[in-house]
């Protein structure tokens, strides 16, 4: 399968980056839900996205913060993340591939 000419990185590199959240949760023995996602953006459809849902009431703030560390969340956001975990019910680990870039996103839900 050929890559679009704009992508200079090998597809295997994207696959490794995309699989990291799965590997982290598997290594820690943390069960999760899986949801495909998409984003519409100025005449483009980003379909290489997903979210993994974790029940935050089942794990300590320390354990969930370690996941963020493994995904290289900047330190400046970690303290606020820890505060926002209080009262949350669900943590979603998001992945997005857009052109030559990949990113992880963290979402918290409150019910």
How do residues 56-82 score in pLDDT, each as one tens digit?
A: 999 999 999 999 999 999 999 999 999
Q: Does 15 reside within a domain?
A: yes
Res 6: pLDDT: 54
Res 48: pLDDT: 92
Taking 50 as the threshold, does the pLDDT of residue 22 lie above it?
Answer: yes
Angle ∠(111,92,16) on CA atoms, nearest 5: 175
Residues in the chain: 111
Taking 50 as the threshold, does the pLDDT of residue 5 lie above it?
Answer: no
Q: How far is CA 1 from CA 4, 44, 53, 78, in A?
A: 10, 21, 31, 39
Q: How far is CA 108 from CA 4, 13, 17, 73, 78, in A?
A: 34, 28, 22, 15, 13
Residue 78 is part of which domain span?
A: 11-109
Tally of domains in the chain: 1
Q: Does 1 reside within a domain?
A: no
Q: What is the average pLDDT across 98-105?
A: 91
């Amino acid at each position: 399968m050929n890559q679009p000419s704009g992508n200079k990185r090998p597809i295997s590199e994207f696959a490794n980056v995309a699989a990291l959240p799965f590997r982290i949760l598997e290594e820690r023995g943390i069960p999760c839900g899986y949801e495909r996602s998409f984003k519409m953006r100025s005449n483009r459809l980003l379909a290489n996205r997903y979210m993994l849902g974790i029940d935050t009431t089942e794990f300590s703030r320390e354990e969930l913060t370690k996941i963020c560390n493994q995904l290289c969340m900047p330190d400046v956001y970690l303290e606020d993340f820890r505060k926002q975990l209080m009262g949350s019910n669900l943590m979603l680990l998001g992945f997005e591939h857009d052109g030559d870039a990949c990113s992880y996103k963290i979402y918290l839900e409150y019910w």
